[in-house]
Structures are given as C-alpha cells and as structure tokens.
A and B are shown apart, each in its own frame.
Chain A
C-alpha cells in the first residue's frame, strides 16, 4: 500500500466515523438516559427502524426532511412511552418488554413502510469539514450532517444536567436507589416513564438519520442491529454521555473499515471488515463483563446487574 492510499484509508475511516456514528450516538444517548433512571430498553432497535421509516415517509409527503426528523422523534417517543407504561405494571420485566417492543417497532415499520421503498424523499443537507484542504477526495469523505453536531450538543447538555440540575440528580437517584427516591417522595415510575420516553425520542431521531442521510433511503435491512449494538455501547461507555459519543465514533470507525479499504482497491476480506462493529460489540461485552470500573459505575437499579 502506498503512502497516499494509507492516507485515503485513514481519511475514509475518520469520515466514516463521522458519518456512520450518528445513529449509534443518538440511540446510545437515549439508552444512557433510560438506564440512568434504572431501566433497560432493549426495544431501541425497533425504535430506530420505526424512526427511519417515519422520517422517510413524512419527508416524502411534506417535502421537509427536518419535519421528518421531528416526526421520527415523536414516533420513538411513542414507543418509549409504551415501554415505560408497560414496565410500571406489576411483575413486568423490562428486558422481556424491550424485546417485544423491538419486534413490534420493526414490524410496524415494515408494515407501514412497504409503500416507501420505491419513492425518493428529500434528504437532509450536509457540509464538509474538509473544504480547507482543497482536496476534493478529502472534502467528500468528511461530509458531515448537522445531526451529528446536535448529538454532540445533546451529550454535553446531558452530562451537564446529570451533575448540575435537580432533574439530573433525580434521574440518577431513581436509577441508583429506588427506595431512596421513594423516601423523598419522588415517583419512581414517573421518572422512568419520562426517561424512557425521551430516550425513545432520541433513538427515533437516530433512525431518521439512517433513512434521510446515510445510507439515505428506506429499506427493511436498514438498521442491521445498530440499535442493539448501541445498547452494548452504553455499557462500554459506562453510562457517561460524553463517553457515549466517543464510543459511537469508535463504532462508526469500525464500520467504515470495510468500505474504506474497498475504496483503495482492497477487497480481500471485505465481509470480514464489514463485520468489525459486530466483532467489536462482542469483545466489548466480554471486556466490560470483567471490568471492575464498570461494576462501580453501573446504576444500582438496573435489572441486568441485579
């Protein structure tokens, strides 16, 4: 491999990280909020797919992709609210409900989405971080979407809010010790309901990115498990919104390895490199299972740790 090709691969991976990471980021931030409140929502994969479908459909009908993004958020919030409501019923397990919600969300998306596979909807715009280099190749590779910046801002606001606002402290308290929260007159179910709903909204927005920016069309194989990987990513990020962003970028970069190598003509092991994010997920799960730090940071009320 020449030096030039190495640079191209490097830029392509960075570009891929910037481009592919956004859905990971939104789903992870949504899950981070939900898990901080003491509940696991495994249904975000379904939320992501439904968000993608909704965004595409609304963008197609209204002509406004940003309206599509908002509608995707609302669809996600509705699924989140459903999860939150069902989980507060007695003797309901949030993991099982999450799996049901995942199937429900994807099923719903496929059902309503059939009609939108063919037509083409207006897509979200983008700008490039690479214009200044003067290189067309780099400029194209570093195309980014405003949603990425929104995601980073959301992460910073969330991190700040967890430490500096009453609501942030209440969410952490609910997630760490439900009896303490109850003793202070906080309604644990309400906090979790809201956290799951907002988490669903974020995941829905993440879905809109898939259909409206990259890959930029609606079809049934769009998500291929990104929502589930994002849940794993929250564990890796040890429930910190900022680390969620970094982890999402890392996953994005891993996902970009295959296409980046292909762009310089290396096709050997293409499918293997495309599987990089999945392999990464596996290793992260193994590594974090034994991590003592993760054990300390985990919210005490999570059913996966009980």
Chain B
C-alpha cells in the first residue's frame, strides 16, 4: 500500500497532524568557531515560524542539527514534547521532519512522478506505473497545488520545482516542514501564492512550518512567530504581531555601524553610453537564452534588470563581459560597435562586478595583490615595456586599495580564496572602481553578504552613478533594484519585456512582468 493511500484515512481520524518542535540549548562548535550557542526555540503545532538572521548567523546550522546532518555538541530536540534522538536525516524523516533545501534535491532527468515514487522508503522493486499514477492523482487532489507529473524535472520552471519539493515532503507524510529561503527562485506572485497555501495548511493544523528567510515582508505577511539569530545566538523573537520590522532588523544587525546609503544626486540624463541592440545568445546546452534583448543605458543612470533567476540574466552578463558569444545582435558603446576584449574594456573604461566574484572575477589561488592587479598588471608602473612585471608597485597599489576599500585581509600576499565573501567582493570592487569608470556592469553584488557590506557596496555603486558612469545592475533582489535603480527593466524568458522609470512603477507591476505577462 502506498504512503498516499495510507495517509488519507489517517487524516480523517487524527485531524491534528502538525508537530510541535522545541530545541533546548542547542550548541554546535566547528573547531574554534562557535556556530551555535545555547539556542532554545519553541514552535507550536500548526504555526508558521520564521528564522531570521544574517548570513553566518547560525540559522542553517540550527536546522541542520535538527535534521541530523550535524550532531549538536549540546542540546536536545523535543517533538510533541518528547525527546527524540536524531542522528541522521533518515531519522528525521522517520519522525516526520522534512526539509526543502536552497538547491533542489530533485533528480533532473527523472519525471515528477518518478521523483516522488523513488523518494519513498518503501518504493516497490517493480513499479506498477498505472497503479502509482492513480494513487499520485488522488494524492494531488488533496493538495493545494499541483505540478505536471510526466515531465522531467529538468524541463520544469523553478516555481514548479519548488512546489514539487514541497509536494514530495507532503507525499512522504511529513508534517514539520523546514524551508531554507524557499522564495529566492520564485517571482513575488509565486512566492506569495506558495507561502499563502502553506500558511493555510498550517492553519488547518496539517503542518508546522519553519522558514529560514531574510525578507521581512515574508515574515510580516505570512509568519506567526519569529526567532532572530545573530552570531550563533538567539537574540530575540516572539509573535510577529508584537514586533515591528525595525525591532527585528535591530535584532539581526546588532550595534554594527551601517554606512549611510549614498544619496542619489539629481542630475540630468546623460547621453546614451551603452546600447544593446537585439542580442541573441544560447545557453550551455545550446538552447536560446537571450532572445532579442534591447536596452539603452545613459551616462549617470543606474538601469536595474529585475527578474527571476534563470531568465537569461547570467547569460546577458556573460555576453557583456566576453564570457559568452553572441549568436546575433550587437553591443554599442558610445555609438561604436563593441567587441568584449581586454583592450576595448580598457580603452572604453568598462568595468564589471559579476556574480559569484570568486568564480567569475578572480583566480582564487592567486594573491589579493595579484588579483587586484588584473586590470593594470601590463601597464606602467606595474609593467615595463608591457611584459616585464614588477611586483613592488603592484603590491603598493594593492595596499592602497586594501586600505581605501577596507578589505579585511591578513596581507596583500594572502590567497584571495581565503577571504570571506564580502571581502572578495570588496577586493574586486576596489580593482574595478579604482580608475575612471564610464560603464559599470554589476550582477547580484550583495548576494550572501552581511548588512554592513551590503550598504558599503551599494553606496559605491551609487557613487559611480553620481560621477557619471552608466551602470547596469542585474539583481534577483527586487528591493535592491528599487533602492538603487533610476530605471527598471524586467527580464523574462530571455528578453526584456518591460522598462519603466522607478518612480512610475510598483512592485505588483514588476512582479507581473517577471512572471512573463
């Protein structure tokens, strides 16, 4: 008998299936780092609980301890008031705790149905697809949302995958759902729909939800209670209705000094500096990724490209930085055709901060000084005759940049991969912004950074705009775009389908275009 059939009658006799969970004094130490220190939280059955905190605050460590990925050094987990030992994810699953990870755990080449059936511990040795499909259909009819079952996961949209992940947990009869930033791949509408449905299920006492997030909007509109972590400790929490966003933000950040957001200098629109004319490009698998992208960026303006990840933004940035070939179309810089080559970047003063800078803009094992010299190592004073390099001036320049951009590194001779994410970002930014900038291409510059670095980096970008640079900002964070951009372009399905000045549009309109309408 399948799980789906087994759970249907169970629902009728036991209306309250949601679990309550409590952690007592959870502590986890990695070497010299205390990742989690004496964290006790309590989540009532049938509630939607948010775990708030910056990157590295210990949210992931906490849920991984609950799930049995890590064994906590101290502390207990109580389920429905009883202590349960959880040594590995399989134990957690047996107790009805399921987790949706930031990266998908579905198997791309298997269909939705295959993914669901194989996830069951009691999957039959020989699968009778007729019977399984029938029981999957009955299961889906009880669910608030559905996904196509006979399509390989690789052909599904991100939203469908996310729904399938959640369906999988429900299919496995799990009633405590832990979600790790579940909306990062969804459009605002999809996110609202999904969180709303989960909230509904929690209200009916079908499930209890713990959601890791850093979006206050999601906390205030969908969650019942919240716990805020900072540097591995529980700082505060309680009912969401009792807390203001400011209070939560203060708990998250603590007393760290945050740089004031740079002021947007009023300035008349400049001339067109960068023009993208009908760009076409393919993705790694040879499928069209960009289809007729048209956009103009003027001097002294930030154009923000919003969109759900995977709609061609990465490919666009790669095309502009010379990492991917165009199949058709042209890029014009100052009215002249532009070939993305090192020489033209230098001549036309085009700089960029790609996403995942450690991968896309540095050589991880080379030193900070060397990485900072990538733009200038073959020009005087770092080089004589264009080929004789002198490390002295390179190091001097690096020291200056490290001080000016507050890069935290033991020395200029440290390998750049040893730096934290925020400092890699700063080091690359220092390299790219140290000279005159006419064009700046930035992609997800603040992904995974703490508040202080975020404010710092956003201010730098704004300063470049105020100095007259044409800035193209690609970001999956709509708030970032709304804060920085002068004009907003929305990318969906590989093309730009909406452009508007930031003052003449709103979140709902942008969201609609992100979904491709």
Q: Which A residues lie at the B interface, using CB under 8 A?
A: 164-167, 169-170, 172-173, 176-177, 179-181, 183-185, 292, 295-297, 299-300
CB distance from A281 to the nearest CB of B (A): 23
Contact check, B109 vs A165: say whether CB atoms are below 8 A apart: no
Q: Which B residues lie at the A interface, using CB under 8 A?
A: 88-90, 101, 103, 105-110, 114, 117-119, 121, 123-127, 129, 154, 284-287
Contact check, B127 vs A172: say whether CB atoms are below 8 A apart: no
Contact check, B286 vs A177: say whether CB atoms are below 8 A apart: no
Which B residue sits closest to A181, measured CB to CB? B107
Q: How far is the CA of A299 from the CA of B285 in the complex (A)?
A: 13
CB distance from B500 to the nearest CB of A (A): 36
CB distance from B66 to the nearest CB of A (A): 15
For B107, give its contact among A165, A173, A292, A297 (CB under 8 Å): A173
CB distance from A235 to the nearest CB of B (A): 16
Q: How far is the CA of A164 from the CA of B127 in the complex (A)?
A: 5
Contact check, B117 vs A169: say whether CB atoms are below 8 A apart: yes
Contact check, B109 vs A184: say whether CB atoms are below 8 A apart: no
5 A-B pairs, CB-CB below 8 angstroms? A166-B124, A166-B125, A172-B110, A173-B118, A296-B285
CB distance from B440 to the nearest CB of A (A): 33
Contact check, B125 vs A167: say whether CB atoms are below 8 A apart: yes
Q: How far is the CA of A299 from the CA of B109 in the complex (A)?
A: 8
Contact check, B109 vs A166: say whether CB atoms are below 8 A apart: no
Q: How far is the CA of A295 from the CA of B285 in the complex (A)?
A: 6
Q: Assuming A167-B125, A169-B127, A177-B105, what are 7 further A-B pairs, CB within 8 angstroms?
A: A166-B126, A173-B110, A176-B110, A179-B105, A180-B105, A292-B285, A300-B108
Q: How far is the CA of A60 from the CA of B154 in the complex (A)?
A: 52
Chain B residues with Cβ below 8 Å from A169 are 110, 114, 117-118, 123, 127
Chain A residues with Cβ below 8 Å from B88 are 185
SS of A interface (majority)? helix
With known contacts A165-B126, A292-B286, A170–B118 Cβ distance under 8 A: yes
For A166, give its contact among B89, B123, B284 (CB under 8 Å): B123
Chain B residues with Cβ below 8 Å from A292 are 285-287
Contact check, A177 vs B285: say whether CB atoms are below 8 A apart: no
Q: How far is the CA of A297 from the CA of B108 in the complex (A)?
A: 10
With known contacts A169-B114, A176-B107, A184–B125 Cβ distance under 8 A: no
Chain A residues with Cβ below 8 Å from B119 are 184
Chain A residues with Cβ below 8 Å from B114 are 169
Chain B residues with Cβ below 8 Å from A164 are 126-127, 129
Chain A residues with Cβ below 8 Å from B285 are 292, 295-296
Q: How far is the CA of A165 from the CA of B118 in the complex (A)?
A: 9
Which A residue sits closest to B119, measured CB to CB? A184
Chain B residues with Cβ below 8 Å from A170 are 118
CB distance from B287 to the nearest CB of A (A): 7
In the A-B complex, the 7 residue pairs with the smallest Cβ-Cβ separation, listed nearest first, are A292-B286, A169-B118, A173-B107, A176-B109, A180-B105, A183-B105, A166-B123
For B89, give its contact among A167, A173, A183, A297 (CB under 8 Å): A183
